[in-house]
Structure 1
Amino acid sequence: MKTIIERFIRYLAIEKGLAPSTLGSYRSDLEDFSDFLRRTGCGDWPETGRRHIVAYLAHLQKLGRAPATVSRHMASLRSFYQFLSREGLIEVDPTGQLDSPKADKRLPRVLNVEEVERLLAAPEGLTPMALRDRAMLEMLYATGVRVSELVSLNVTDVNLNMGYVKCYGKGSKERIVPLGSAALEAVHAYLTRGRAGLLKNGDPGALFVNHQGKRLTRQGFWKILKKYARTAGIQKAITPHTLRHSFATHLLENGADLRAVQEMLGHADISTTQIYTHVTQTRLKDVYERTHPRA
């Protein structure tokens, strides 16, 4: 069983170029399904049919898994069985006639401009850590890159003279995103006055490094963000993705073209970007209801 899963994961890595975190999600989902089959005596992969998959999805729902999580598991199984069918390992794809569970469309949580300003001002001082943290927060809000993309950046990916950053998104797709003046200033200050104090004998290529000179991790940035959110007095529960959401929402609120925002975010499908138009419409409605005398 593990051999077949690893074969599928290698296919996704080599043929599809998926990121390690995405590959980990596929592996986790498939191992969970494999455990379910073993516990319930459903048999091996070739013996599984539509009813086994339906039973598994029902099992996830009984465990209280969110609709989006159940939908993701179904997507993992669909890709896996399509792979088995193409490889001739099964005769019939049991997911072929199955609809994916409907996931709730939640509007992303965003910060308003005043909250963003407080967060970006939270790293005070000129220590290497403060300069690094200010540069990371400024860059995240200036570009809307994913946190995984932020911590994967190398020094050579930033062009301060031209004012852009080159990052690699899902499927290792490269895109160029402009950097605003505030972010450029913060990154320049970090590179000239902060990074050398952290680097020591660490990773010479990594843009953002920790106190040991090693490349900063997603978990490390998450801790940094939570610290500055508390310092800024932000009451909302925010995640590293909140600044990405805020970046997109604020651009659209100020008249940015949806296609341009799609390109900067690295979305393959514009329907993914359109969620932010719903956010701006909701925020406009809130403003109208709070301020119009006859709302």
Structure 2
Amino acid sequence: MDICTKVALRQRLLESGKITLYFDYYPPIRNPKTNKMQRHEYLGIYLYGNPTNKVQRDFNQTMLEKGELLRCRRQEQVINRQFGFIDHSQQKEDFLAYYEEYAKRQSNTKWRISYKHFQIFTGGKCTFGEITLDLCNKFRDYLLNAKQLKHTKKKLSKNAASGYFSTFRALLKKAYKEKLLTENVNDFLEYIEWDDVVKEFLNQDELIRLAQTPCDSDVLRRASLFSCLTGLRFSDILNLDWKNIQEIAGIGLCVVIKTQKTKTAATLPLCEDAIELIGERKTGKVFPGFKKSLTAKPLADWIKAANIDKHITFHCARHTYATLLITNGTDIYTVSKMLTHKNVATTQIYAEVVNQKKRDVANSISLK
């Protein structure tokens, strides 16, 4: 049988002469916000260390009584979480605040946008006790019909809605594991199906043409072509540091990173063209001066100057890398590893694109 954590109310004398109250957990409990084991929790309640009159003594007594009341409530919460009882006080806690705090800690902006949509949907108020299957399904319907936050006249794409609902479900799963929700509603929710989209990419001739076309921004040119040769995402190119460029025995010069999006460790060998693009070793960022704004009009102007009639974004460099690898005969498993995909099924879409191109070429030959 599990040992129930005991919550004691303790006092500590500060250098200022005041006394601070805190909870002492034994054995320690896991803090649901930091996910670390915690022994002490300070209440932010202070007593007079040396009360000089009745008013101060009465104040100390009142604060001690409030501290004991809080201790009793916290002991009840600990028992409820450890033994699976319904914690009625927890059900009144602010779920929106929990959502916002977790979203802020994520590097992916999708979390913050998802939170903002849920905040709008709930009118800015939602407790843990209000998280029901019906509410979650209504949020799903909301996302399927919601407008974009930035472009308020445009509807969310189905894929965007799918991504935001996926993050919401991940939060529900986390909250249930932490025993903040009494029901695992996530198991009863349907995904928002993802629509297949055409992944634009450059073929070999277009890539060569682009490389030979002058670009007004040298750092945009080098960063874009480097992405085409490594498959690195924008976020990884933006944050790429010379410390990530390492000589690996038996392989040569490589990019050694943990990707920003998936936090996957990767060691990517660099070809001669990629090494030429980064130039001589320095310190700091590999592509200093590279920024998001360069991937809008400056990139579009460069693509147009190369006479490439496709809607090419910076992320298309990653598609280019993947499709050219598969076109050149690289097996799907190796391509998946080079792209740092966690699932080979994610990489399969590139193989399907290449197969479609093969079918188009075959159908271009006819006896009629």
TM-score w.r.t. length of structure 2: 0.65
Residue 167 of structure 1: aligned partner: 257
CA distance in 2, matches of 1:94, 1:111: 43
Does the 8 A contact of 1:71 with 1:103 survive in 2? yes
Q: 1:133 to 1:4 in 2, by over 3 A?
A: closer
Does the 8 A contact of 1:165 with 1:178 survive in 2? yes
Instruction: Provide the secondary structure at the position in 1 that maps to 2:225.
Output: helix
Instruction: Provide the secondary structure at the position in 2 that maps to 1:255.
Output: coil
Instruction: Provide the secondary structure at the position in 1 that maps to 2:341.
Output: coil
Q: After superposition, where does 1:174-193 map in structure 2 within 5 Å?
A: 174-188=265-279, 191=280
Q: After superposition, where does 1:1-295 map in structure 2 within 5 Å?
A: 1=94, 2-9=96-103, 13=105, 20=107, 22=108, 24-38=109-123, 43-63=126-146, 64-123=155-214, 129-130=217-218, 132-159=219-246, 162-169=252-259, 170-188=261-279, 191=280, 204-210=283-289, 216-290=290-364, 292-294=365-367
Give CA deviations for 1:248-294 in whole Å, capped at 9, x if unaligned. 1111111111111111111011100111110001111111112x124
Q: Displacement, 1:160?
A: 7.3
- Aligned amino acid, residue 60 of structure 1: L
Q: Which has the higher helix share?
A: 1
- Aligned amino acid, residue 114 of structure 2: D
Instruction: Provide the secondary structure at the position in 2 that maps to 1:185.
Output: helix
Q: Displacement, 1:222?
A: 4.2
Does the 8 A contact of 2:225 with 2:317 survive in 1? no
Does the 8 A contact of 1:262 with 1:273 survive in 2? yes
CA distance in 1, matches of 2:278, 2:296: 19
Q: Which has the higher strand share?
A: 2
Instruction: Provide the secondary structure at the position in 1 that maps to 2:185.
Output: coil
Does the 8 A contact of 1:160 with 1:184 survive in 2? no
Give CA deviations for 1:1-29 in whole Å, capped at 9, x if unaligned. 4531244347xx5xxxx5x1x1x311220
Q: Which has the larger radius of gyration?
A: 2
56-65 or 25-34: which moved more? 56-65
- Aligned amino acid, residue 241 of structure 1: H
CA distance in 1, matches of 2:224, 2:111: 30
- The Cα RMSD (Å) is 2.5
Instruction: Provide the secondary structure at the position in 1 that maps to 2:268.
Output: strand
Q: Displacement, 1:99?
A: 1.6
Higher RCO (C-alpha 8 Å, min separation 6): 1
Give CA deviations for 1:213-262 in whole Å, capped at 9, x if unaligned. xxx33333445422311221222111111111011111111111111111
Give CA deviations for 1:134-157 in whole Å, capped at 9, x if unaligned. 432331111111111111111222
- Aligned amino acid, residue 90 of structure 1: L
Q: Displacement, 1:117?
A: 1.2
Does the 8 A contact of 2:336 with 2:344 survive in 1? yes
- Tell me, which stretches of 5 or more residues in structure 2 are unaligned? 1-93, 147-154
Does the 8 A contact of 1:107 with 1:278 survive in 2? no
TM-score w.r.t. length of structure 1: 0.80
